[in-house]
Chain A
Amino acid sequence: MPDGDANAERMQMALRRFELPLLQFATRITGDRERARDVVQETFVKFQNNGAFQNPEPATWLFTVCRHGALNVCRKEGRTQYLDQKLIEAREAEQPMPFERLEQKEAAGFLSRIVATLPPRQQEVLQLKFQNDLSYQQIAKITKTTANNVGVLIHTALKTLRQKYAQTAKDFIPFTPKQPNDT
């Protein structure tokens, strides 16, 4: 059936395009890659079953459902860091800065690590914005907040990142790594 073929193709395209980003996204929320895999699989099953793949802009739908699934996993397992807004705010205030403990400042991926020190809500919007190129509006829908609030979160996150990054980049010294197989 031509319709069936077209749908299957849409499904395949969505899988190719979004599987990995969704997995990354769910992993950041659940902190567990296997749980995240389950969540993403469920997301795609729902995607197929309710015809959402016919949506010309599936990203918002997929990330919303995936986020919901990931939060459910956290809720069931008693990991509530994403759920309780008051808790989140309290944590933001007392955010420790493990980054300062970083001694290997030349180590790769240090920006990822700075990101990992940000409050969860900020990490989440950064990932949606810079890994998935979603707009403030789309991110607001997915994270159930306002576009204004997304703007504030991203603004605050970028400010912190720039400060910490500048601190580190200043100390950056190129180095020659020893190959693991060197004799």
Chain B
Amino acid sequence: MNLDDPKLTAYALDELDEIERRGITRAVSTSSETQHEIQEIQKMARLLRTEFAAELEHPADATTKPLSTNLSDIRDDPWFWTRARPLTIAAVLAVLAVIGLAFFGSYQLRQHEIAQAGRRVTDFPSKSSAIEAEFEAAAATPSSYVIVRGLINEGVLPPKDSVRIEEMINYFSYDYPEPTREQLLSLDVDVASCPWADSHRLVRIGLKGRKTASSEEVGTGERPSRPTKIAEEVKIQVEFNPAEVGSYHLIGYEQQIPDKERLNRDEIDAGEIDAGHTVTAFYEVVPAGASANRAAVVPQVDPRKNGSYTTHKSNEMLTVKLRYKKPNDDKSELIQGTVVDDGKQFASASPDFKFAAAVAEFGMLLHESEFKGKGTLGAVLEWAQEGKGIDANGYRAGFVDLVRKAQALTRG
């Protein structure tokens, strides 16, 4: 479709009615160019929200005067040093991150270079050669679920490239513990058997941002107010213990990151979390010594490179380090936890765990991922129903319906 169409901008800003949206959804799903354009529009929208929000926080300093007067003495203004530089940096960081939160209230996890399957751990340019995977939690546009839903509702199975599993998982929010009083974020890790691959384990990493008084005051009957960013430069490191883990695979992230975004990625570790929001990621793990029933599960964990695991006897499965900064604060906070796999079966996992796993497998099936294992749409339906939980807003019920429709489409 024509990229210079105000309708496309309206679509990106969620301003279209149902009928118009459907029409464009179809065009969007088949054109990566259009998808990219939408992301670019949403990035700029995110930047504008940040910038306009800053104006409200510091109204006296707002740049509402003519430009010529603004430029004169800015370097003598103490506000410039205390606020403006971090804000600029935040703004530049936000170029990498994306948004959609105001509309979809969800997140995407972005990963460094391990996104490409097939990479061995020993190839990592990581310091001290630790066996670690890093990924970033970045505010993003989970448009994939919306596109997938739109197409299935129209009776079309989505093209595999329109399915981004990590975006689908993070379209939904999950009930993770609230952060403690000292922290802005909480970290929650859970492990159970992997329902689509015998002998594999599924590790779920969840983050939640603390709710703030502003995030609760917004209900004025208007459209949802913009989310409040509470943490930035959020980074999660996962280090696997070679005594316990043979190989692992981060679910999703199978699409190429556009070169343009890749360029700055290593320079700026950007990721933002808004108040009350959750971020979810899954690792599929093959225990050490277990027969990987798929050579595809990579990278392998190299026992010669122990990282912080100095003894092979430790029963810890992995260590997670969560680092973040408060907006405009130079100091980085660290939350760290080690995880021992207690051998839990998927059947006794929490509803949230089951539901998120169902969404992940649904995505992998639609994406025809090599990691989809033995899962079926029928199994996805079962897990999603078991994991429906309270579902106050009906989103999960909507997902269950969607899986049924997809089932009907594959049969037909």
Residues of chain A at the chain B interface (Cβ within 8 Å)? 13, 17, 20-21, 23-24, 27-28, 31, 33, 56-59, 98-99, 102, 104, 106-113, 115-117, 126-127, 129-131, 133-136, 148, 151-152, 154-156, 158-159, 161-162, 165, 169, 172, 174, 177, 179-180
Contacts and interface: CB of A to CB of B under 8 A. Distances in A.
Size class of the B contact interface (CB-based, 8 Å): 35 or more
B220 A108 contact: no
Closest 4 CB pairs of A and B: A108-B84, A131-B52, A155-B6, A108-B88
Nearest to A60: B222
Interface in B311-334: none
Contacts of B84: 107-109
Contacts of B52: 126-127, 130-131
B92 to A, nearest CB: 6
A170 to B, nearest CB: 10
A156 B67 CA distance: 21
Contact of A162 (B10, B15, B44, B222): B44
Contact of B85 (A117, A136, A177): A177
Nearest to B95: A169
Contacts of A174: 89
12 contacts: A20-B59, A24-B56, A57-B220, A59-B220, A107-B74, A109-B51, A109-B63, A111-B48, A113-B70, A130-B51, A159-B4, A179-B81
A160 B55 CA distance: 21
A158 B81 contact: no
B70 A165 contact: no
A92 B225 CA distance: 31
Contacts of A129: 13
B397 interface: no
B9 A134 contact: no
B64 A31 contact: yes
Contacts, number: 138
Contact of A151 (B10, B48, B80, B102): B10
A104 B51 CA distance: 18
Nearest to B71: A102
A107 B6 CA distance: 31
Contacts of A172: 92
Interface string B76-99: 101011011101110110010000
Given A133-B225, A135-B15, A24 B62 contact: yes
Given A59-B220, A172-B92, A116 B67 contact: yes
B68 interface: yes
Nearest to A111: B51
B184 interface: no
Interface string B36-70: 00001100110111011111100100111111101
Contacts of A33: 64
A58 B51 CA distance: 24
Contacts of B67: 98-99, 113, 116-117
B226 interface: yes
Contact of A112 (B55, B78, B217): B55
B221 interface: yes
B26 interface: no
A110 B78 CA distance: 17
Nearest to B9: A155
Contacts of B78: 180
Contacts of A28: 64
